[in-house]
Amino acid sequence: MFEQINQKKQHLDANRPLPKYTVKSLREKLLLEWTYNTNAIEGNTLTINETKVVLEGITVGGKTMREHLEVLNHRDAINYVEEIVQKGEPLSEWQIKKLHRLVLKGIDDEYAGVYRDQQVFISGAKHIPPASFLIKDEMEQLMAWYEQSETIKLHPVARGAMLHAIFVGIHPFIDGNGRISRLLLNLELMKEGFPPIVIKVDNRLAYYEALDKAHTQKEYDDFIKLVTIEVEDSLNLYLSTINKNT
């Protein structure tokens, strides 16, 4: 499943470092698309161009304060993900809670960075997240799974996809679980030198169906394949700049 992306990543690595301004423009492009799509999946009505102007500090008329904050907060969360990667820090529950505080800052300060204390349901899904009193144990089990040798040996794409799926199945927070799961997926990829990926709102149905299959049947292949396609898409974007520079 990973042979093609492994070859493309090797080709990308062989051509690193990319030119400074190429890297800067790629980062800005992916930050915008990642932020727009992750928020759109959750119901934010800002268009990609409106998201761009909000990131530039401009208020869009007719849109809620929450929608503006979702854009700015997600940018801050991406900055924190990049900081974790640059420092080479191992993943921890504390980092996950900090990411959540960043995502929900000014939107729901009471629950920002705090595990939920009530039952929640995932709209349209057969899977029902665990009861709130089980969250602490479930998150500890997730971290134990993440740190075990078998998980470390997984291909980074499989490991990142499974981390995303297991985390969002636990649904540890009242709100923002989808955004955090996609941040964790990209954190895992970026740690291994892959460019961040964008789960596109246009693929929302297939994305939800693959996740529900993972949660109800413990069958992760469909979701890993979906993530693999997006990984190849991002690699192709980076590789296209090499071809233009040669």
Residues with a catalytic annotation lie at 171
Q: Which residues have C-beta within 8 Å of that of residue 172, sequence separation ≥ 6?
A: 115, 116, 135, 138, 139
Q: Can the peptide bond before residue 90 be classed as cis, meaning omega within 30 degrees of 0?
A: no
Integer Cα distance of 99 and 92 in angstroms: 11
Q: Is 186 left (phi over 0), alpha (psi -120 to 50) or beta?
A: alpha
What's the farthest any 2 CA atoms get from each other in the chain? 57
Integer Cα distance of 157 and 6 in angstroms: 10
User: Considering only CA atoms, which of 34, 11, 64 is closest in space to residue 197?
Assistant: 34
Q: Is 206 left (phi over 0), alpha (psi -120 to 50) or beta?
A: alpha
User: Considering only CA atoms, which of 191, 185, 193 is closest in space to residue 228?
Assistant: 185
